[in-house]
Amino acid sequence: MTIWRLVFSEILHRRMNFALGVLSVMVASASFIGSVTLLNIHDIRTNQILQDKQDELADRMVELTDVTRKAMLKLGFNVVILPKDQNLADWYADDYASKYMSEDYVHRLADSGIVTVRHFLPSLQQKIEWPEQKRKVILVGTRGEVPNLHKNPVKPMVQPVPPGTISLGHELHRSMNIKVGDKVTLMERQFTVHACHEERGNKDDITAWIYLAEAQELLDKKGLINAILALECLCTTDALPIIRKEIAAILPGTQVIERGSRALVRAEARNKVEQEARVAIEKEKLGRQNLRTVRERLASILTPVIVMACAVWIVLLGFTNVRARREEIGVLRTLGVSAKGILVMFLSRHVMVGVLGGALGFCAGVLAAVYFGAALEDTRIGITDMDLSLAGLLVLSVGGAAVLAVIAGWIPTLTAIRQDPAEVLREE
Amino acid sequence: MLEFKNISMWFDGPKGKVTALDEVSFSISPGEFLAVRGPSGCGKTTLLLAAGGLLRPSAGQVSLDGQDPYVLSSEMRSRMRASMIGFVFQQFHLIPYLTVRQNIMAPSLALPTKEAVQRTQELVSNFGLDDRAGHVPAQLSTGQRQRTALARALLNKPKIILADEPTGNLDEDNADIVFDYLGNYVSDGGCVLLVTHDIRAAAHATKTLQMSQGRII
């Protein structure tokens, strides 16, 4: 005969008392585990919502950035670098610079490590009389983009005009009835038509683009350019002073002009969208945080109340059990079982109530949290999706429940061991 | 084996001091069967509990195998009870959810021995309880219950059996069986202190004392 055999037999004999004890512990444990699990489900759902919104924003930003890039390409460039002595009134009137600077400037910029600009496009531009056609055109010599060597390379926005070729604006090729591949003569030099552009409704329609070195030769401006177009500048309205400052430090003999304000407006709009989306995400985050705080407070009030109520119930059940076992305790003490033995006998029972109740409470708590979590969060988060250590939680539930049951059962147990066997036997 | 020297016991009752035992002295040696007779409320059960180390006397000295149990700690006294004394009660006091076999083995909770299982089986057979060994007390007759209680008292081979009205709830035949078992135990060198008002006890006892109002008369 062992204490354990006695405890098991007694449990079987008084199943109802034991079952009610287990149920009490289970309710206490389930309320605690359920609260913790529900809060975890809330956190997981919050992360999901925020991640979805972040992804949505990222997609929208990619889309808007692309739109902005395209707008900048169509509208021209948002920054033009001109020789410092260029009269801006003339530049605005003629739409090209009458002063020149060394083509080498563009290399100095590209090598400088400037962070606000990705590409540079050197050009030589001049309004000329096309002798062979007897008409005024704008001749642009360009050689394609020079990438900023300190930036990650991206696909060029402007395709260069190969040497020996010419690209023509809409008005030019339309009036001259010229197609791609045709041969044209400009200032006694023959060019193959490389591209015939669509109508743009601006001076581009009367512009002819040729390779930069050939333009320099035709215009007798060898090694010179009169503008550098900065491509893909930072798309914010307050970037210009920074670009000016950076370029002035590298090329003191230049001035920087902003162009393409419509592109900037679009870029600004894009930034505004991003800003508003970020504010919305922050608001959502705050809303979810507030909801969590409310739920946490509710759990921090309800759980202790439930646990206390269950503890009181366990105490009452403990007293009922001790009362029912008065005679048995008296007999066992008479047979020589010590007070310590009686203590072990009662506490073992309470530990079993706690362990079983804790394990069942863990299962009930997690399942209830998954069920109610799905209803509260409008989405199902499974047990495997949780970032809780379920094993740790099970240990906590079982251990905590056993401690709760032992503490609650302590007073009835003390009553049991303080029982005077002589008194019990005399009463009987 | 057991000696009472001027044992007195009194309690504070609602109407003042109540004397349960008054200067009681006697002794029992191995091979003796002492029956203490007297009417209800004369102090018989108090005497038995004092002898069993369960109720400390107000005055006097109890000696059990040369040792005063009341100078020992509660833990040691429990151990002494488990090893030296067997108790038998009128109400049997069997544990309701244990079988006959488990009830007989119950004293091994206090004093575990390797022989407990074998000894239990011997007792089950000796007391004619083989066919009831797996039954719980509620499924037994009163005679079977008392035999089970008697077998339980003998598990640890005690030096003395303290019996409180063991035949009080039994018919004549079953009472005789119990007296026979107690007599056999005394013949084997044990000793019995029996408190009863059963007049038949005198026939089985080697010595009889009469009690009245807490005194041996």
pLDDT at residue number A70: 65
Q: Is the pLDDT of residue B152 over 80?
A: yes
Q: Give dist(CA B62, CA B51) in Å, integer.
A: 7
Is the CB of residue A220 less than 8 Å away from at least one CB of chain B?
no
Min Cα separation B89/chain A (Å): 9
Min Cα separation B182/chain A (Å): 18
Q: Which residues of A touch B102 (CB under 8 A)?
A: 1, 5, 9
CB contact residues (below 8 A), chain B span 111-130, against chain A: 111, 116
Q: By C-alpha distance, which of B127, B144, B126, B143 is closest to B135?
A: B144
List, in sequence order, every residue forming a beta bridge with A186; answer none if it has no partner: A189
Q: By C-alpha distance, which of A335, A339, A389 is closest to A362?
A: A389
SS3 at position A351: helix
Q: Give dist(CA A7, CA A77) in Å, integer.
A: 89
pLDDT at residue number A305: 94
Higher pLDDT, A374 or A193: A193
When pLDDT is averaged across residues A262-268 and rounded to a whole number, the result is: 60
Q: How far is CA B41 from CA A322, A352, A424, B27, in A?
A: 28, 43, 16, 22
pLDDT at residue number A76: 45
Q: Which residues of A touch B52 (CB under 8 A)?
A: 334
Strand ranges, E, within A199-331: 207-211, 224-225, 227-231, 254-258
Q: How far is CA A241 from CA A238, A244, A255, in A?
A: 7, 5, 12
When pLDDT is averaged across residues A290-310 and rounded to a whole number, the result is: 92
Q: By C-alpha distance, which of A259, A299, A235, A229 is closest to A37?
A: A299
DSSP of A275-288, one letter per residue? HHHHHHHHHHHHHH
User: What ipTM was predicted for this assembly?
Assistant: 0.89
pLDDT at residue number A186: 92
Cross-chain Cβ contact A6/B109 below 8 Å: yes
Higher pLDDT, A73 or A359: A359
Query: Which of A5, A10, A335 has the highest number of chain B CBs within 10 A, making it the mutation to test binding with B?
Result: A335
Q: Which residues of B touch A338 (CB under 8 A)?
A: 74-75, 78-79, 110
Cross-chain Cβ contact B109/A13 below 8 Å: no
| Cross-chain CB nearest to A336 (options B79, B91, B116) | B79
By the 10 Å C-beta count (0-12 exposed, 13-18 middle, 19+ buried), A275 is classed as exposed
Helices and strands: H and E segment counts in chain B: 7, 9
Is the CB of residue B87 less than 8 Å away from at least one CB of chain A?
yes
| Cross-chain CB nearest to A1 (options B45, B55, B106) | B106
Rg (CA), chain B: 17
Q: What are phi and psi of A414, to 5 degrees?
A: -60, -40
Cross-chain Cβ contact A3/B106 below 8 Å: no
Q: Is the pLDDT of residue A309 over 60?
A: yes
Q: By C-alpha distance, which of A422, A426, A413, A424 is closest to A339?
A: A413
Q: Is the pLDDT of residue B44 over 80?
A: yes
- Residue showing tokens 């329609």: A205
Min Cα separation B54/chain A (Å): 6
Nearest CA in chain B to A426: B45
DSSP-H helix ranges across A76-169: 88-94, 104-112
Cross-chain Cβ contact B93/A5 below 8 Å: no
Q: Which residues of A touch B95 (CB under 8 A)?
A: 6, 328, 331-332
Is the CB of residue A424 less than 8 Å away from at least one CB of chain B?
no
Cross-chain Cβ contact B102/A10 below 8 Å: no
All residues at 6 or more sequence positions from A239 whose CB lies less than 8 Å from its CB, including other chains:
A116, A233
Nearest CA in chain A to B73: A338
Q: Give dist(CA A246, CA A268) in Å, integer.
A: 22
pLDDT at residue number B194: 93
pLDDT tens figures, A23-75: 999 999 999 999 999 998 899 889 889 999 889 888 888 887 777 666 655 55
Q: Is the pLDDT of residue A159 over 80?
A: no
Is the CB of residue A1 less than 8 Å away from at least one CB of chain B?
yes
pLDDT tens figures, B48-89: 999 999 999 999 999 999 999 999 988 889 889 999 999 998
Sorting pLDDT into bands at 50, 70 and 90, what band is A204?
Answer: confident
Is the CB of residue A4 less than 8 Å away from at least one CB of chain B?
no
CA A63, chain centre distance (Å): 17
pLDDT at residue number B104: 95
Domain boundaries in chain B? 2-216
pLDDT at residue number A121: 84
Min Cα separation A319/chain B (Å): 19
Cross-chain Cβ contact A336/B81 below 8 Å: yes
Is the CB of residue B96 less than 8 Å away from at least one CB of chain A?
yes
- Residue showing tokens 């090694």: A223
pLDDT tens figures, A76-104: 446 788 998 888 888 888 778 889 999 98
Domain boundaries in chain A? 3-51+284-427, 77-259
Domain B2-216 belongs to what architecture? Answer: 3-Layer(aba) Sandwich (3.40)
pLDDT tens figures, A369-426: 988 888 888 777 777 777 778 888 899 999 999 998 898 888 888 888 888 888 887 7
Q: Which residues of A touch B137 (CB under 8 A)?
A: none
In degrees, to the nearest 5, what angle opens at C-alpha A292 toward C-alphas A290 and A295? Answer: 115
A-B Cβ pairs (cutoff 8 Å, strict): 88
Q: How far is CA A139 from CA A88, A168, A380, B61, in A?
A: 20, 10, 66, 135
Least confident of A268-272, A352-356, B16-20: A268-272
Q: Give dist(CA A336, CA A183) in Å, integer.
A: 123
pLDDT tens figures, B156-198: 899 999 999 888 888 888 888 888 889 989 999 999 999 988 7
Strand ranges, E, within A107-225: 119-130, 135-142, 146-147, 165-168, 183-186, 189-196, 207-211, 224-225
Sorting pLDDT into bands at 50, 70 and 90, what band is A149?
Answer: low
Cross-chain Cβ contact A333/B78 below 8 Å: yes
DSSP-H helix ranges across A119-239: 170-176, 212-218
Q: Which residues of A touch B87 (CB under 8 A)?
A: 334-335
pLDDT at residue number B172: 84
> How many CB atoms are closer than 10 A to CB B207?
14
By the 10 Å C-beta count (0-12 exposed, 13-18 middle, 19+ buried), A128 is classed as middle
Is the CB of residue A43 less than 8 Å away from at least one CB of chain B?
no
Report the mean per-residue pLDDT for chain A.
84
Higher pLDDT, B61 or B40: B61
A161: DSSP letter: P
Nearest CA in chain A to B41: A426
List, in sequence order, every residue forming a beta bridge with A128; answer none if it has no partner: A137
